Amino acid sequence: MPRNHVPRIVVTGVGAVTPIGNSKDEFWQGMMEGRSGGAPITRFDAAQFETRFAAEVKNYDPLLVISRKEVQRMDLFAQFAMSAAVMAVEDSGIDFEKTDRERVGVVFGSGIGGMWTYHHQQQNLYERGGVPDRISPFFVPMLISDIAAGHIAIRYGLKGPNYATVSACATSSHSIGDAFMLLQRGNAEVILAGGSEAVICPMGIGGFNAMKALSTRNDSPSTASRPFDKERDGFVMGEGGGMLVLETLEHAMNRGATIYAEICGIGLTDDAFHITQPAPGGEGAVRSMRLALEDAGLQPTDIDYINAHGTSTPFNDKSESAAIRTVFGDHANTLSVSSTKSMTGHLLGAAGAVEAIATVLAIKNSIAPPTINYSTPDPDCDLDYVQNGPKHRPIRAALSNTFGFGGHNATLCFKAFQE
């Protein structure tokens, strides 16, 4: 389809449940303050674990938007999903009574799904003698990753495209990318897109500890997530959810919607190299960013800010920095690059959506969020990482990177909205 006939797609609403704030405004304020979500684990007794801290969502009350009966039948990841969705819908101002619900979809993913549900049901099975009738009839509906999208559709009566994406840490960036393509194709006029995760549980922490992926800075949880810093020793597990309301520009304009930013390009690739390590030099990330720029019709010099994947792991931060150098050349020296994971921890399947929200808010407010806990420069990471405090600057266009186990790479390109 000729580019001038492809619908423009805009962001009209956002909702976030994060370790540093349970609303769009709280999340933004937390980033502006450089607040860390890292703290000792409270969800279970982690005394015997190598890592005893995480970035948990705090002061969260699902009953603000979900009935008590529904809460009992929804895993925590689905509760985060519903809360983020309700906030995003309210933020968008969309009235579904005046909208063709067959033209509204939900694409919402989770990297792992209902891990807490599996934990509790497995305990029921073995602690009660292995009798299978102790398994809840809600076990499977609470466990499966796609159920969050189903719950959201049921709540609002949305009958358009509806499914989940699953691609590890790239999950919700793929959700947003799929929504973007569906809207461009004319399969819908509005899509709620995002992701959620809730795996701060014994098997979640234990599993990532076994991989040696998590920081073990137990004496200082609030400074453990330190992307691009030479002393980084692994990522900090986070949890939460993020939702964006995407619409065709025509639909948004017709209803007088407030527009945060325009999503103008996506890049999706795979490393085909290793199940957990990035390809040397960030080769797959290079192609992902270049494809996003090409799709957006932008030049590298048009980009002012990159919300980096920036996990605080030795391999990722080095390879992503090298990839940015390769794509942007000399312009890399004028870019602002930050990892909001330094504050939120790594939200796994929710990371892409929450970081996309950070990116569109950065464009809207002309402020690049900081990378906190940066103290010791790494010669392999030599960009402007917006160290330890936000930077006020015009942001005409920005990229949001997410890379997942399995070699999955996703880059989203957003730009300031102009009619």
Residues recognised as catalytic: 169, 309, 346
Q: Which of 81, 70, 203, 66 is nearest to 138 (CA)?
A: 70
The amino acid occupying position 211 is M
Q: What angle do CA 267, 269, 271 make, to 5 degrees?
A: 145
User: Which tokens is 285 given?
Assistant: 């990330």
Element (H, E) at 265: strand 261-270
Element (H, E) at 368: strand 367-368
Q: Are 342 and 309 in contact (CB under 8 A)?
A: no
Kindly tell me the number of DSSP H helices and DSSP E strands found in the chain. 13, 14
| CA-only gyration radius of the chain, Å | 20
Q: Are 344 and 20 in contact (CB under 8 A)?
A: yes
Q: Are 236 and 200 in contact (CB under 8 A)?
A: no
What is the C-alpha to C-alpha distance for residues 39 and 368, in angstroms, rounded to an integer?
25
CA dihedral for 207, 47, 117, 148, sign (positive or negative): negative
Q: Which of 278, 282, 312 is nearest to 405 (CA)?
A: 278
